[in-house]
């Protein structure tokens, strides 16, 4: 587990604190897979309680912005009555992309906890670091690698099944464009 220091230099907590919430995000990722969506799940936690949860719905909604963490943050803001999520921790199964990393900053999220790194699109630790860039007016505390193996396995299983279906000549609904 990679614990990075937050804006005030405070650590991101213990792994045991994060595991139950990451398991909830994994459950959301599995719901996405059942729909033929790329299996990414997210939950937003405030004061030890889940206030919002979501999974990818890009294909279902035909909306490129319907990523799990963005949908969860929108719902949390709606439920809390405030777009500022300073007291929130966002748990997501995969390192956020540039769009979602930017949204974490814009929503003023206090902490991000993610599972698997994304070497192709990760905008927190892999390709760039949008959430801790000192040029922005807000920085997000980051904990990476929580249940990393389990989070990566959900993606690997999904894309493995998708590739096999394509090789077998079966029509694949949902995330069919992700591997092209």
For the annotated catalytic residues, the residue numbers are 69
DSSP string, the chain: -EE---TTS-----HHHHHHHHHHHHHHHHHHHHTTS---EEEEEETTEEEEEEE--HHHHT-TT--HHHHHHHHHHHHHT-S--TTEEEEEEE---HHHHHHHHHTT-SEEEEEE--TTT-TTTTS--STT-TTSS---EEEE-TTHHHHHHHHHHHHHHHHHHHHTT----SGGGGG-
């Amino acid at each position: 587990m990679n614990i990075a220091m937050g804006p005030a230099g405070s650590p991101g907590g213990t792994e045991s604190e994060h595991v139950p919430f990451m398991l909830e995000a994994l459950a959301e990722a599995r719901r996405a897979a059942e729909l033929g969506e790329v299996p990414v799940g997210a939950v937003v936690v405030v004061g030890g309680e889940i206030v919002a949860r979501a999974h990818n719905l890009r294909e279902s909604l035909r909306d490129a912005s319907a990523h799990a963490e963005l949908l969860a943050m929108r719902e949390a803001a709606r439920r809390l009555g405030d777009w500022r999520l300073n007291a929130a921790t966002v748990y997501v199964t995969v390192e956020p992309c540039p769009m979602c990393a930017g949204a974490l900053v814009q929503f003023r999220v206090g902490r991000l906890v993610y599972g698997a790194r994304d070497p192709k699109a990760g905008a927190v630790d892999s390709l760039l670091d949008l959430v801790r860039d000192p040029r922005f007016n807000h920085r997000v505390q980051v904990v990476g690698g929580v249940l990393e193996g389990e989070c990566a396995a959900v993606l690997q299983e999904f894309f493995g099944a998708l590739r096999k279906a394509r090789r077998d000549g079966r029509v694949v609904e949902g995330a069919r464009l992700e591997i092209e």
